Chains A and B, each alone.
Chain A
Amino acid sequence: MDPSEVEFLAEKEFVKIIPNFSLDKIYLIGGDLGPFNPGLPVDVPVWLALNLKQRQKCRILPLEWMDVEKLEEIRELERKEDAFTPAPSSYYMELTKLLLNHASDNIPKADEIRTLVKDIWDTRIAKLRLSADSFIRQQEAHAQVTQIMGINHKAVRFISYQQEIQA
């Protein structure tokens, strides 16, 4: 999977916005998007949120995990544990990049959040490398890949190819 493909899938996640226009309920193939009333929060997919934001028609509310304290907790937990801990969301890297690039004014402490997410990412990828190395050393036939999001799959595929060679 390409990083662009993973980003495309990440845009399907929902985020809360506050529109400044009004529109009736719209019926799309993927689902219905509720009526838009100025000033009232509504759940929309990220692709729509970003589009509206770029046209200055809404304000994006930060996701509940995009908070400095919460991310700090997650980072500490990730550093303590040897195994993978549950990530804030399946697409935390992509969502961080998308939201912080287009809507950083709506998200408090955007730079700190970016740093924290990068730290979490670095810790997880170091764990991935370590586990891949020990996996090869012990010649296990397969490994259980849990809690790893899209971008990592490329690395994992590379490794399982090698295992196949040596099995």
Chain B
Amino acid sequence: MDTQSYFPVPPGVRMEENFLSLDDILLSQERLPVRMECVFPRLGFLEKSSDSQDIPEGTKMELPLWLSKGLYEKKRKVLSVELPKVYKEGWRTVFTADPNVVDLHKMGPYYYGLGSQMLHFDSPENPDIAKTLLQTFIGRFRRTMDSSQNAYNEDTSVLVGRLDCLEKVLFKSGQNGLNGFQSWEKGQASQLTASSLVLNYRKRKLVDVQA
């Protein structure tokens, strides 16, 4: 049985983030290239390249997603966010050409998640970004599903190494289904085995104490 002792909060769908989801928290650590539209007095220490007391207007910096989302306003008085390389025109054509060859783990382990979050920043290319994300997912889905359902008892590091975090979750769930089914077929599902919690806890057995 693959029941867990707690149910982790899953990442948010579409453009939302779940506050309590660990995946979303890690996702929001990703840095985005950002341009300051106004002065930030006395925050010069944040920018390592210049030594001024405050951050002048027009500075280009990299800020994490959680900060950018918080400071961004539609009226654009504070920040303007640029798209990271992976979501720009050049890479988008690569993705539309053949989604399967790209190493999505290298492109930022949270390609889909960060892409969905980028849609918050009202860039004129938003519809294209959304479309590319969707098409990439669709293109890669078949391979992810097939490989997860057919790799039984093998080393999957080669297959998983090129997947984005969302795809890794799907792959893992497919593998769990496959392993569960195979162990049931073999009859191992009805055998009683010591729980991993008990084994890890390494309780002293009465037999050992008495001996």
Bound CA–CA A158/B190 (angstroms): 24
Q: A154-B176, A155-B177, A162-B170 are in contact. List 17 more A-B contacts (CB 8 A).
A: A2-B2, A2-B184, A3-B180, A7-B184, A7-B189, A129-B146, A129-B149, A132-B145, A137-B138, A139-B138, A151-B181, A154-B181, A158-B177, A162-B141, A164-B13, A165-B13, A166-B137
Q: Is the CB of B138 within 8 A of A136?
A: yes
Q: Is the CB of B184 within 8 A of A167?
A: no
The residue from B166, B177, B190 contacting A154, defined by CB atoms under 8 A apart: B177
Bound CA–CA A134/B168 (angstroms): 21
Closest to A133 in B: B142
Contacts of B174 in A (CB 8 A): 155, 158
Question: Can you sample 9 A-B contacts with CB below 8 Å?
Answer: A3-B180, A3-B184, A139-B134, A151-B181, A154-B181, A158-B174, A162-B170, A165-B112, A166-B138
Interface residues of B (CB under 8 A from A): 1-2, 13-14, 112, 134, 137-138, 141-142, 145-146, 149, 166, 170, 173-174, 176-177, 180-181, 183-185, 187, 189-190
Bound CA–CA A155/B149 (angstroms): 9
Interface residues of A (CB under 8 A from B): 2-4, 7, 97, 101, 129, 132-133, 136-137, 139, 151, 154-155, 158-159, 161-162, 164-167
- Dominant secondary structure of chain A at its interface with chain B: helix
Contacts known (A129-B146, A161-B170); A4 close to B13, Cβ less than 8 A: no
Closest to A94 in B: B184
Bound CA–CA A125/B189 (angstroms): 21
Q: Is the CB of A133 within 8 A of B180?
A: no
How many A-B residue contacts, CB cutoff 8 Å?
Answer: 60
Closest to A151 in B: B181
B195 to chain A, nearest CB (A): 15
Contacts of A101 in B (CB 8 A): 187
Contacts of B137 in A (CB 8 A): 136, 162, 166
Bound CA–CA A128/B170 (angstroms): 17
Bound CA–CA A161/B142 (angstroms): 15
The residue from A136, A159, A161, A167 contacting B14, defined by CB atoms under 8 A apart: A167
B103 to chain A, nearest CB (A): 20
Contacts of A139 in B (CB 8 A): 134, 138
Contacts of A137 in B (CB 8 A): 138
- Most B CB contacts (10 A, CB to CB) among A3, A136, A161 go to A3
Contacts of A158 in B (CB 8 A): 170, 173-174, 177
